Amino acid sequence: MDESDTEPPLVVVPGADPSARQLCFAWGPAEVLVCETLFGRAGGSCFRCLSRSPSPSRFWGEGWVGAAARALTGSVAGTGEGAPSSSRVFVVRRDQDIYIQTLRKLFNESHGIFMGLQRSEEELAGKSRKAQLVQVSKNYRSVIRACMEDMHQAAVSTRDSALQGQYSTQVSILSAMELIWNLCEILFVEAAAAGPLLLRLLDWVRLHVCDVDSMVREVLSSESPSKHKLFWNVVDVFVLQGRMDEARHLLSKEASANPTSMNMYKILDDLMKKMPVPSLGNTQTLTELELKWQHWHEECQRYLQDGTFASNPHMESICKILLGDEDAILEKKELMTTWYHFLVTRLLYSHPTVKPLELRFYAQSSIDLFLGGESSPEPLDMILMAAFEFEMHQVIKECSIVLSNWWFVAHLTDLLDHCKLLQSHNLYFGSNMREFLLLEYASGLFSHHSLWQLGVDYFDHCPEYGRVYLELHIERIPLSTEQKALKVLRICEQRQMHEQVRSICKIMAMKALRNNRLGSALSWSIRAKDAAFATLISDRFLKDYCERGCFSDLDLIDNLGPSMLLSDRLTFLGKYREFHRLYGEKRFPEAARLLLTLMTAHIAPCSFWMTLLTDALPLLEQKEVIFSAEQTYELMRCLEDLTAGNPDKQKFQDDDVETTKVEMLRLALARNLARVIVKEGTVERS
Amino acid sequence: MEDVSAKFVSQKISRTRWRPLPAAALQPPDVFATGSWDNEDNRVSIWSAGDLGNAGLNGEYHGEPHLLCDIQHNGDVMDMQFLDQERIVVASSTGTVTIFRHHQNNQTLSANHRWEKAHYHVDQDTSCGGAACTGVVCNNPEIVTVGEDGRINLFRADQKDAVRTIDNADSSTLHAVTFLRTTEILTVNSIGQLKIWDLRQQRNEPSQIFSLAGDRVPLHCVDRHPNQQHIVATGGQDGMLSIWDIRQGTMPVSLLNAHEAEMWEVHFHPSDPDHLFTCSEDGSLWHWDTSTNVSEKPSFLHQGGRSTAYLSHSTINQSVVSAWLSNDPTKDRMEITNLIPNQTLSVNSLDVLGPCLVYGTDAEAIYVNRQLFA
């Protein structure tokens, strides 16, 4: 991955014909839009040139090319339905596997494991930490297996042959993934030492070489297994896989049917029973084992040389296998089916105490012997080979190229990183490999209409670029309902992404405003603490009031509480409504005081002063005197300010209605002043 | 917990509901419905909770839930509720309300009746402009729905048009609705208000408004005590559980700190209201237990006998009055358990019936716990 050693693969967009028209494109974080232009064909096709060109962008250069070989799929977004003149737009997505329904189970379940791993205690030292990591690895594998079973079920139950083929392909991909993961678990995560290493490898082979299982079942379930034509094959399978007890059990049946050769069977049975195997506990040292093994080996050798088994070719070949005779083992090629089975069998009978670092030599010679130059190794073989060579980066690189999803490499790399196995392997881009792969995987999740929620947690665990990626992606989530918006908002708020919080609230407020839901719109802008927008909505409320003479959405405006302080206009709206309430409740002195404050403290916008003054009219005309002398002077000053200092002065004079209003106000103010002087004078004297 | 069975279903679950039991049933519920959201095609599905035939010696149930049937649903499933044994009312984000019928003999689902755009912005007849229907509640044959448009609709299952519509009932979004009495409903909205509406009155105004003081935290869910109708529980955006006594005051009786994020659903246990269940965006599901003394706890739940339940009713009620409405700081009498440790994604819905709990998550899994009180 760290060098551009492979040419970027071609991307075929089904339906787009670069020979007829030039294509143009635009790329986003997760998708590429390709569209046909009006230009006719001139020179080479756009798209091909582009994907051949050396990395024009980060996304294209690394992310896309890594994934492109397998994952680009074209789907027609907007089509002109066959009309030759119309242009079409294709949406090209990179991670095709994301869209497979059954795999969603894999993504969701492994997300839980991933999160558990990130939370797990780093403090646990030595053995318990290793046990913990091995457990995590096993959990991942069991999810793969469960998914494989589901996929298998789906393949069996479907009647659509194309779909069936698709499912079967997925089953084989999943099983390859599990095979690789298991080997990595043994070699890297558990890092089994000489001795136990062989036992683990045997388990690995038994678990994954399943081609012979049906044959074994058939023979074992037949009436008399020993008469079955495949009997010896099954015995061989058991021996090759080191399943001694099962092999001996079968042999004992054959022995009881052939009393004449009983002795021969007994000797072989004895040899198989006595074969020393490494133990998992610390009960014996490697040297002890080697010593015992040497003895046993010599004993086998003796029996073979003195011709004990000469009368029975089957048993003779088993004895040869026990001795680790490569030719004898290779004869059973069909029963082993794979070179890594051959490798493990060979190790079992000739190098049971193989050390991890010696594996590479045996692996190399095994693959050469097994394939015998007839066929070249396939990608899977190369990956396993790299694992045997302890080339972790090579394993990850090959997997990235071959597998059709980012899931595998991202999770495996993360696990290996937690095992502290990936030294800061610096890439020439981004931060490190773990983060790079996690980012790619999570970006794929975000391109999915439903799985985006999983992606968030992956970004969270990318220390360097995770946040930036999240910010870019989260803004592109379509907010179809308020509930979804709330979920996205929660994600942003938890991470203090203020910019995104504001933009989401603004989008929702705009939507509400378009739908004439002023109350909702105001709620959203209050949540975003968006003063400008709150002002805009408050103005709408006031405009509605001026037009209709009553307020809408009283339940909201009456309950603004402290959020009223968000913008001046909102404060005014709340206070103005309060004035109306006080007036309605006939608490005139309080209402009057509030009204005056709205103007003198410049809370009310100037354009609204006339309305406020008009509102003062009925208060001035009340039987009781409400405004004090001082308040009346203030009101007069407000009126004069409005008529004199206002640049719209001209308008007032032109407009008859306005002039009448002003005249009426002046009259009312004068009368009120007269009354109040009399009243205040009277009170003071008494 | 070993008595919980889980199934990954490859769709994000927005609602889970047990099918109500017939009146005389003794066995625990075994069929539930789920609705999905945020998918390209959303589905309403009917599940069997697990194989009853496999019940072990100790009454343990094995086997995960399996799908009986499902049907495509237009838009996100926002809410749903069973109308009766066979019919289920589903609220959609497109504003449509649909009654689906579950044919039990051949295990199929079909749309029985549909009110297109029961909730809408601006104009009902235009091609777009449906507003999400956020809540639905049924009291056969009556169905009440609320939506983002602040509208309240009253339908009857057998009538084509709405019986009653209150336009602009709320200036903000209505999040949930429940029946208080047969003619009264409770709604909660996004500015922290709880409103009571009397459907007999022709006035388009709530008969009472309660509200949270101060921060106007949006309320997302509401449930009423099954026996004592004046006790109401609501859950808010800050994860707070509020208990209200609607006979007095306009503020909640108690505010209980609960989840760290939105509380999506709150449910009193229908037959044992000492127990309350809440679930949240933070991925937790809490069991609130106010039955004061463990030894006094009536054991009818384990035996499933109805007669014992009936006998002990009066005593339960006594304890509940003091439990949910007690204002003194003896909150420690309440036992609270988080039923899901280590969950990370939102638990969107839960439902309890008898000894069984079912819940669904954004991690695309449904969980069934069949021994809640074990």
Residue A487 to residue B346, Cβ atoms within 8 A? yes
Residues of chain A positioned with their CB less than 8 A from the CB of B66? none
Mean per-residue pLDDT, B154-173: 90
Residues of chain B positioned with their CB less than 8 A from the CB of A494? 261
Domain annotation covers residue A240? yes
- Can you give the pLDDT at residue A424? 58
Domain annotation covers residue A101? no
Structural domain total, chain A? 3
Domain annotation covers residue A428? no
Q: Which of residues 84-143 of B touch A (CB under 8 A)?
A: 93, 121-122, 129, 131-132, 134
Mean per-residue pLDDT, A192-212: 87
Tell me, yes or no, whether A220 and A304 share the same domain.
yes
- Can you give the pLDDT at residue A684? 60
* Domain ranges within chain B, ordered by starting residue: 4-22+29-54+61-292+343-369
Which residue from A111, A450, A555 is facing B171, i.e. has the nearest CB? A555
Mean per-residue pLDDT, B259-280: 93
CB of A538 closer than 8 Å to CB of A521: no
Does residue B303 have a pLDDT over 60?
no
CB of A124 closer than 8 Å to CB of A172: no
Give the residue with greater pLDDT, A328 vs A253: A328
Most confident of A111-115, A577-581, A606-610: A111-115
Residue B149 to residue A517, Cβ atoms within 8 A? yes
Does residue A550 have a pLDDT over 60?
yes
- Can you give the pLDDT at residue A67? 35
| Dist CA A33 CA A452 (whole Å) | 20
- Can you give the pLDDT at residue B205? 87
Does residue A150 have a pLDDT over 60?
yes
The residue assigned the tokens 């506990």 is A281
Which residue from B10, B76, B362 is facing A101, i.e. has the nearest CB? B10
Residue B172 to residue A559, Cβ atoms within 8 A? no
**Is the domain defined by B4-22+29-54+61-292+343-369 classed in CATH 2.130.10.10?**
yes
The answer to whether residue A112 neighbours chain B at the CB level (below 8 Å) is yes
Confidence category of residue A1, pLDDT binned at 50, 70, 90: very low
CB of A143 closer than 8 Å to CB of A421: no
Q: Minimal Cα–Cα distance from A240 to chain B, Å?
A: 37
Tell me, yes or no, whether A487 and A546 share the same domain.
yes
The answer to whether residue A555 neighbours chain B at the CB level (below 8 Å) is yes
Tell me, yes or no, whether A291 and A261 share the same domain.
yes
Distance (Å) of CA A69 to CA A7, A9, A66, A214, A400:
10, 6, 7, 35, 10
* Percent of chain A whose pLDDT exceeds 90: 26
Count of C-beta atoms within a 10 Å radius of residue A172? 13
Residue B8 to residue A105, Cβ atoms within 8 A? yes
| Dist CA B257 CA B276 (whole Å) | 14
Q: List, edge to edge, every strand of the sheet that includes A89-93.
A: A21-27, A31-40, A89-93, A73-78
Q: Minimal Cα–Cα distance from A101 to chain B, Å?
A: 6
CB pairs under 8 A between A and B: 123
Q: List the structure tokens of B1.
A: 């917990």
Closest A-chain CA to B151 = A517
Does residue A82 have a pLDDT over 70?
no
Domain annotation covers residue A327? no
Residues of chain B positioned with their CB less than 8 A from the CB of A115? 342, 344
- Can you give the pLDDT at residue B15? 96
| Dist CA A415 CA A130 (whole Å) | 11
- Going by DSSP bridges, is the β-strand pair B263-268/B108-115 parallel, antiparallel, or unpaired? unpaired
Q: What is the pLDDT of residues A322-342, one digit of tens each?
A: 988 888 898 888 888 899 999
- Can you give the pLDDT at residue A630? 87
Helix, coil or strand: residue B72: strand
Tell me, yes or no, whether A522 and A622 share the same domain.
no
Domain annotation covers residue A215? yes
Residue A109 to residue B8, Cβ atoms within 8 A? yes
In B247-303, where do the E strands start and end? Answer: 254-256, 263-268, 275-280, 285-289
Q: Which of B337, B328, B323 is nearest to B369 (CA)?
A: B337
Residues of chain B positioned with their CB less than 8 A from the CB of A104? 8, 10-11, 364
Does residue B158 have a pLDDT over 90?
no
The answer to whether residue A561 neighbours chain B at the CB level (below 8 Å) is yes
Q: Which of residues 372-431 of A touch B (CB under 8 A)?
A: none
Q: Which of A552, A505, A523 is nearest to B191 (CA)?
A: A523
| Dist CA A431 CA A529 (whole Å) | 35
In A5-102, where do the E strands start and end? Answer: 21-27, 31-40, 73-78, 89-93
B318 contacts: CB under 8 Å, gap ≥ 6? none
The answer to whether residue A511 neighbours chain B at the CB level (below 8 Å) is no
Helix, coil or strand: residue B25: coil
Residues of chain A positioned with their CB less than 8 A from the CB of B346? 453, 487
Residue A520 to residue B12, Cβ atoms within 8 A? no
The answer to whether residue B70 neighbours chain A at the CB level (below 8 Å) is no
Strand partners, B360: B349, B366
Mean per-residue pLDDT, B348-363: 93
A109 contacts: CB under 8 Å, gap ≥ 6? A143, A146, B8
- Can you give the pLDDT at residue B333? 67
Domain annotation covers residue A632? yes
Query: ipTM score here?
Result: 0.88
- Can you give the pLDDT at residue B257? 87
Domain annotation covers residue A541? yes
Residues of chain B positioned with their CB less than 8 A from the CB of A482? 132, 134, 148, 173, 190
Lowest-pLDDT range of A109-123, A303-317, B79-93, B323-337: B323-337
- Can you give the pLDDT at residue A385? 94
Domain annotation covers residue A136? no
Mutation choice for A interface testing from B15, B37, B152, B173 by most A CBs within 10 A: B173
Residues of chain A positioned with their CB less than 8 A from the CB of B281? 487, 490
Residues of chain A positioned with their CB less than 8 A from the CB of B192? 559
Residue numbers of the domain that contains A532: 479-585
